[in-house]
Amino acid sequence: MIDYSVLDQPSVLQFIFYPRKDHPLCLDNAFDFSIPVDPDVSISCRFYVGDQHWPWILFFHGNGEVASDYDGIAPQYHQIKLNLVVADYRGYGASNGIPTLGGLVHDSHIIFDAVRRELAGRDLRNDLWVMGRSLGSIPALELAHQHQKVIHGLIIESGCPSFIRVIRHLGIPTYGVDLEKIDHECIEMIMRITVPTLIIHGEKDTLIPPREAKDLYRYLGSDNKQLVIIPSANHNDILSVGFQKYFESLQQFVEVTDRRNGAKKKTK
């Protein structure tokens, strides 16, 4: 586990997290689930159910988003026969606590296990593909590394191999932190990730430049990896600009890995 807690300085956190408490009522086919992650701290997740037999994606959103922002996006996942569960962060949506990078990684493991138990308890498929957008690439990569025998696939959208790259790119001040050490640890972790992986990135992204997606693709230890660059898209309009290519790539990736996982189970 990468120790990001050394970066939990006010000078860093004020540029990384933008928590909002928006939490509208669920849609008819959705439900909220609260997961205790620390004493007096719980994380809210929103489950969007399309069909009990469809695959599930556990999604970690960007730093300025909340789970309920996906009320309007979840139907597009259902159109390609995917269920979606979106995890908030501390201080976001209906979650309490204060967001930190250390907490982001710590909480992801508890969320992953709790989501799988909740799906099984509701007689829903509890195998998961893990997806992270932007900041969400931190917990997604962490889970892909630590739970490789369970996770069916990894999807990174507008992400990077190491968030140290973003800190440097934006010129965020840090004090007394060995950035090189953390960056090196991140790359070593990624080289050990062997699960099937899809990387989606905007061609015109200036917040996290496309070179980071290319580096992530290059460093990944998986033999089954894809890099999809959305032409003319930047960091925040990638869905609207590349809507068709985005969801076609996502659908094909999950369908192919699902078939392969099914074939492996039959041969055992």
Size of the chain, expressed as the number of residues it contains? 268
For the segment 64-111, what is each residue's pLDDT rounded down to a tens digit? 999 999 999 999 999 999 999 999 999 999 999 999 999 999 999 999
3-class DSSP state for residue 161? Answer: coil
- Whether the per-residue pLDDT at 27 is higher than 90: the answer is no
- Pair of tokens at residue 186: 């991140």
- Whether the per-residue pLDDT at 268 is higher than 70: the answer is no
- Whether the per-residue pLDDT at 266 is higher than 60: the answer is no
Homologous superfamily in CATH for domain 4-261: Alpha/Beta hydrolase fold, catalytic domain (3.40.50.1820)
Give the per-residue pLDDT at 23. Answer: 87
Give the per-residue pLDDT at 267. Answer: 54
- Whether the per-residue pLDDT at 51 is higher than 60: the answer is yes
Burial call 59-97: b when 16+ CB within 10 Å, e when fewer: bbbbbebbbbbbbeebebbbeeebbbbbbbbbbbbbbbb
Give the per-residue pLDDT at 22. Answer: 87
Give the start-to-end residue ranges of the domains of the chain.
Answer: 4-261
For the segment 232-258, what is each residue's pLDDT rounded down to a tens digit? 999 999 999 999 999 999 999 999 999
153-157/197-202 β-pairing: parallel
Give the per-residue pLDDT at 117. Answer: 97
Q: What is the mean pLDDT of residues 184-202?
A: 97
* Residues 223, 139: Cα–Cα separation, whole Å: 22
Q: What is the mean pLDDT of residues 169-192?
A: 94
User: Confidence class of residue 171 from pLDDT cuts 50, 70 and 90?
Assistant: very high
User: Confidence class of residue 179 from pLDDT cuts 50, 70 and 90?
Assistant: very high
- C-alpha atoms less than 13 angstroms from C-alpha of 64 in its C-beta half-sphere: 3
User: Confidence class of residue 62 from pLDDT cuts 50, 70 and 90?
Assistant: very high
- Whether the per-residue pLDDT at 205 is higher than 60: the answer is yes
Give the per-residue pLDDT at 126. Answer: 87
For the segment 112-162, what is each residue's pLDDT rounded down to a tens digit? 999 999 999 999 998 899 999 999 999 999 999 999 999 999 999 999 999
For the segment 8-21, what is each residue's pLDDT rounded down to a tens digit? 999 999 999 999 99
* Residues 42, 235: Cα–Cα separation, whole Å: 29
